[in-house]
Structure 1
Amino acid sequence: MVRWHARRRARLGLGAALVSGSVVALPVTAYATSWTGMRLVPNAGFEESDSSAARWTTDGAVSVVASPAHSGHGAARIADASATAGASLRSEHLAASPGEELTASIWMDRISGQGGHFYLEFWNAEGSRVAAVSTAAGAATGWQQVIARGVVPDDAVTATVLAYSTVADQGTTLWDDVAVATTPPPARRVPNAGFEERREGTRPTEWTVFAPGGSATVVTSGAHSGLRALKITDSSTTAEVSALSRAVPVTTGETITASAWASGGTGALYLEYRRADGSRIEPPTRVDVGAGSGWTKVTASAAVPSGATTTTVRLYDDQASTGTTLWDDVVLRSSQDAAYAEAVGTGAVLFVGDQRVESYSGLTRVVHPGTKTGDPALASVGAGVVLNGGTWDANPRLSGTVLPAPGGGYRMWYTAADGSACGYCTGYAESTDGVRWDRSTATHSVYPYGPGGVVANPASTGPRYFMLHAHGPGSPQPNRYYAAQSDDGRTWTEMNSGEPVLNGWDVVNVTYDPDTSRFVAMSKQYPVNYAANTNPAGPRTVWMSTSTDFVHWTSPRPSFAADPRDDAAITDPAPSGQARWSEVYGMPAIRYGEQYLGLPWVFDITDSPAPLADPGPDKGRQHVELASSQDLLTWSRPSRANLITPGAAGSWDWGWDMTGTTLLTVGDQVRLYYAAFAGQHSCSAADVSAGLCTTPFGNARVGLVTWPKDRFESFHAGTGGGEVTTRTLSPSGTRLTVNAAPGSGALRVEVLDADGNPVPGYTAADATPITTDTLGTTVSWGSKTTLPTGPIRLRFDLTAGDLYSYTID
């Protein structure tokens, strides 16, 4: 079995890189050292083989030589003698999370010729390269360190490094000692930071434009990354132009660093702090773009002053100048941003996201849609149905919740909506088995507003249940969320004296996290004028708040949004001339094992008759996906396949799927309750006649899908098998169990130290192969059944079948 090592990491430090001759090094931003960490590149020093570049993909005349090497006893040699073809050396793929900043370095010695280029590349789940940054190696001789830095795009899931001699770069070069440092995705995000949201056309969605001196519009050419950028044109010497971001919560004592990429020399970046009433604290921090051509990174940094609650970013062109500046890729960094956490609890680590994954090869990601399980008595209304509407609760749906009932059985709270007797109210049902549901205990609504999730009170005293909901009874403040409580699940009363507890509008999904003893609310925060209660406008995105008492909630922070990869995946037709884009209608965030699982409701909009006003009339279908997070703010979604398979056209769950707020584990089975409408959102018969959609909205049911424990998504090994290596782990437990179905093959687990070296006694050769389908088998290495002391890495070698999760307890 081939091994790989990360040798002498101290010698590969990026901050002290020396550059001479014409070697180009990108500027290093001075981040707090606690943010950064090293990624492990397979065979980074070319030490595994004396002749070939093991674990690297080569093209052209590439070999491994013993001398000269930058360190150790191996280096890669590119001998490009062709005038019509280049030569290259590409690493294996590292798992990458959108928003993560990677800084790749390599040592290069030019023997002859031009020296070539060093690339940092980003790849999507389909295996296509979506972005790359490069640095010319230059014509100097002797060992030089070359650096390339880039931020992982939203549509990328892996990264590689590439040493490349182009067609025009004939010559011989040596390459050695690759290193990749990472800065995790920022915890504070500017909504629509890349100007990719499409709801408002050329207007920058979620930004406030003030343009008496010209214009600020979104353009579709010349972007720094992605598909779009903001173009600010100032044609007046007496009036300015600016675009102001939405406010992002901050805390006193942290230092915020705002950056944006600019092309043009007349603009300025403002970092602003604001009080709770929205007023700006003077003076803001301003940094001018400055002279020069091409894209330049502009950075402003300042400590959060006393009295500030939020920060905003302003892209500005002042009165005294005229000109045009392109802006893109706005980023907020904080001195309180957290680095990757090695500590691992005793819950299952699922291979849904890549927060714990270092690299993988020979494996593909597979989402396993749930199996539809229904009440046999309701088989006539559709597969998987467990609740059908009646007279007062026609079109029953979730968002809602199913919880175990005291003494056994289950309770369900759902939204009943028929538009007349009960527009949007809370229905209630009970069940002994979770499949057959009885509504006779509540023959009418139990609350006049639909549930945004029900949670059980973890305290031993007080009401048994809490609920968040929109639009409090008779409230003059409709654009808010309210709290309610109940002792029995059927009789509900308002909390907080009937006053709202959280800003927001429409859908909210609330859950409880027992690991942190917090309630979690995932809400909609449209750019609405709460003081005036104006109708919301802008895209549907998900913001996160937490609470320990269900009344006092943290300020909502941007958490989850659709991106261009979602837009590109839409296949449903749109009316002539209508753009298609995706938004996230809602998303529960559920603690499951060692991570949070997000269930984003991805709304594929194919007709938006009023994109600048209330988005309610938007038409399109909706599907459910799966995401993973460690902190509720940074989400990993490498696969975007459906978690719930839509029914056939015309069936009850073809058009509009949404989920409940709970994943219930019953024995070795996990249950997710969901609801769906047969048709498309806001699609009426008249709309069908007009060609705006195909299937009218309605015919809703509540259904159930199930999985074997942990088996939502897997790494799948095809012909030839493959492997996945974790990032460093410092577990609290010592026993490793795996959930896997190796099919005709076998799974072996090798333990590595933090530098990637196999731990003696825990190599793949020592490992007892796992050859049977198991939901939880203890891994052993001969007589050893306990792990060595961390930090460690785990390397899973799978020759066939699927690997779903692992647990260290």
Structure 2
Amino acid sequence: MNRENAAPDTLYNGIKLPEIWPPTGIDGTSREPLPVPYLQNPPAVIPIQVGRQLFVDDFLIEQSTLHRTFHKPRWHEGNPVLKPETGLEMNSGVCPVACPFNDGVFYDPKDQLFKMWYHAGWFDGIAYAESKDGIRWERKLLDIEPGTNRVLATRPGFRRDGVGVWLDHDAQDPNERFKMFAYFRTPDGEFGEVYTSPDGIHWGEPVRTGPCGDNTTFFYNPFRQKWVYSIRTGLGSDRSYFRIRSYREHDDFVQGADWSDEDTVVWSRADDLDPPHPEHQCPTQLYNIDAVAYESVILGLFQIHQGPPNHVCEEAGFPKITELMIGFSRDGFHFDRSDRTPFLACSQQEGTWNRAYLHSAGGSCLVVGDELYFYVGGFSGISPQRGGDLYAGASTGLAVLRRDGFASMDAPQGGGELMTRLIRFDGSYLFVNANTKDGELRVELLDESGHAVDGYTMEDCIPVRADQTLAQVQWVGRNDLSDWVGKPVKLRFLLTEGELYSFWVSPDAFGASRGFVAAGGPGFTGPIDTVGSK
């Protein structure tokens, strides 16, 4: 097996990768939950120079009396924000579709626009829309196929399936600023292709990928500068295992698409902690993983298939059930999935835009002020021609979450404490994302031996009493931690009546985290938060 990374590699957060990478030996047919090695054996000292430090797992926590709460986004009241309207999207009334079928939604700082690539008409177009605010979308008529907003010209016999699009801020060649994977069904077979583009509209010649299934996607891991292909894979003849994920990473997006089976490893799958649908009782399957770098972690959206089988849905004329679960990775491969309740759930109500078959978008989410925007494709199953259909009535919805709001550490009655493991930072200003409008948060600095540092004790700390996604922590007569740069220390948080979402140490008083901002957002100049509250 070809390994680009045979030598050990220590990551930005102190995690040391094993000599064999990516890891091998995962049984794709097992239903046992997958281990997360770095949680079992965290670094002795954790560098926190990159990004807001999220409490989505116990990686940073040595001890705590706070309890973790996982949070869910709320659906935007004006959903859907994009629905089938044009001739291309209406699909002659058979299977209207206007939503990300993965595809992609990004904010482009160059044009200061939200940009969406989406599935237009079932198995038909890859289309483009743009927005100034992420809510009101405009379809531009393009020069690819006059009178439409297609970004790829129609080829006889080619029917699109899963697609992924990425805005590459670090592209060395401006003609490769946008990248795309597309899976096609043709009279001569099914296969994947990759493309590059200077503007996301005019795409170069296709390059055929290695073997893969539909709904294959990809993402960029900026922590290791690797392109990662999330490959739909089937194992054996048992239909319980025909939807799992294999993994392929490479330095170069196009060269990395030329893989063989020997170049990939089994990556992820559903397991016994993914509950079946109470009515259908089908074994759960992993339909897809979309992922993106968010602050100091890789955020994963796991699309879990709960059934019923396609033939049942086809006969009855309704969409299958896939819901989006959340996971987090600190090494880019192993994901902690402690929360097995749907992050974004189907309504399962006839006549609603998000009745079933939810799909995440490439890029996963965007940072818009104090909130995160998640764009989701949902299927109603409503077909003007057929009445109901498995793949009809697809629209785009928006879900909104507090920035860093995936999980919070909450105070029990009477208050509680959280102490970090040993950490090391190179910034000077401590910030938190917390809701303490009805209580307060104090922070104490501990030296390597666990003793409180004079001048930085709980008594010295000026309480944080606010609901803010960016609040500076200060001590009486001291507003920074510059004397402790590069030294192993611990932080102890004392919380009453509130929720703590994240903390970070910034090099500037504006609170820039130097972490990654997923698919971007207004005010950011690129993929990294360099602005804070500016």
CA displacement 1:173-212 (0-9 Å, x = unmatched):
xxxxxxxxxx9xx962533378327xxxxxxxxxxxxxxx
Calculate percent identity across the aligned residue pairs.
Answer: 25
CA displacement 1:92-133 (0-9 Å, x = unmatched):
xxxxxxxxxxxxxxxxxxxxxxxxxxxxxxxxxxxxxxxxxx
Structure 2 residue aligned with 1:653: 354
Please tell me whether the aligned partners of residues 607 and 619 of structure 1 are also in contact (alpha carbons under 8 angstroms).
Answer: no
Are positions 1:506 and 2:214 aligned together?
yes
The alpha-carbon deviation at position 356 of structure 1 amounts to: 2.4
- TM-score, normalised with respect to structure 2: 0.74
Distance 1:618-1:190 versus aligned 2 partners, 3 A rule: farther
Give the match's secondary structure for 1:600.
strand
Once the two structures are superposed, the pairs formed by residues 138-537 of structure 1 within 5 Å of their partners are 188-192=23-27, 195-196=30-31, 342-372=46-76, 374=78, 383-393=79-89, 394-398=96-100, 399-405=102-108, 406-418=110-122, 423-442=123-142, 443=148, 445-447=150-152, 449=160, 450-456=162-168, 458-463=170-175, 464-471=177-184, 478-479=190-191, 481-495=192-206, 498-500=207-209, 502-527=210-235
Distance 1:536 1:648 in 2: 24
Structure 2 residue aligned with 1:12: none
Are positions 1:540 and 2:243 aligned together?
yes
Higher relative contact order (CA 8 A, sep 6+): 2
Distance 1:193 1:618 in 2: 29
Distance 1:805 1:748 in 2: 14
Are positions 1:723 and 2:417 aligned together?
yes
Q: Which AA in structure 1 matches 2:216?
A: V
The alpha-carbon deviation at position 333 of structure 1 amounts to: 9.7
Q: Pairwise CA RMSD of aligned residues?
A: 3.8
Structure 1 residue aligned with 2:284: 582
Q: Which AA in structure 2 matches 1:344?
A: I
Distance 2:87 2:221 in 1: 36
Are positions 1:572 and 2:273 aligned together?
no
Please tell me whether the aligned partners of residues 363 and 721 of structure 1 are also in contact (alpha carbons under 8 angstroms).
Answer: no
2:294 to 592, 597, 600: 592
Task: Work out which of the two has the higher radius of gyration on C-alpha atoms and give 1 or 2.
Answer: 1
Distance 1:808-1:430 versus aligned 2 partners, 3 A rule: same
Please tell me whether the aligned partners of residues 42 and 59 of structure 2 are also in contact (alpha carbons under 8 angstroms).
Answer: no
Give 5+ residue unaligned stretches, structure 2.
1-7, 11-17, 90-95, 143-147, 155-159, 507-534
Structure 2 residue aligned with 1:670: 372
CA displacement 1:42-70 (0-9 Å, x = unmatched):
xxxxxxxxxxxxxxxxxxxxxxxxxxxxx
Are positions 1:782 and 2:483 aligned together?
no
The alpha-carbon deviation at position 772 of structure 1 amounts to: 0.8
1:708 to 402, 409, 412: 402
Distance 2:140 2:378 in 1: 23
Distance 1:665 1:390 in 2: 29
1:766 to 460, 463, 469: 460
Once the two structures are superposed, the pairs formed by residues 722-741 of structure 1 within 5 Å of their partners are 722-741=416-435
Please tell me whether the aligned partners of residues 559 and 632 of structure 1 are also in contact (alpha carbons under 8 angstroms).
Answer: no
Distance 1:794-1:637 versus aligned 2 partners, 3 A rule: farther
- TM-score, normalised with respect to structure 1: 0.50
Distance 1:618-1:332 versus aligned 2 partners, 3 A rule: farther
2:337 to 618, 627, 637: 637
Please tell me whether the aligned partners of residues 433 and 503 of structure 2 are also in contact (alpha carbons under 8 angstroms).
Answer: yes
Distance 2:111 2:37 in 1: 49
Distance 1:584 1:341 in 2: 35
Distance 1:584-1:537 versus aligned 2 partners, 3 A rule: closer
Please tell me whether the aligned partners of residues 28 and 235 of structure 2 are also in contact (alpha carbons under 8 angstroms).
Answer: no
Give 5+ residue unaligned stretches, structure 1.
1-32, 36-182, 198-225, 227-328, 375-382, 529-533, 611-616, 689-694
Give the match's secondary structure for 1:191.
coil
Please tell me whether the aligned partners of residues 45 and 421 of structure 2 are also in contact (alpha carbons under 8 angstroms).
Answer: no
Give the match's secondary structure for 1:603.
strand
CA displacement 1:682-732 (0-9 Å, x = unmatched):
xx999x9xxxxxx95532101112233222322222423333332322223
Give the match's secondary structure for 2:241.
coil
Distance 1:373-1:550 versus aligned 2 partners, 3 A rule: farther
Give the match's secondary structure for 2:284.
strand
Please tell me whether the aligned partners of residues 190 and 332 of structure 1 are also in contact (alpha carbons under 8 angstroms).
Answer: no
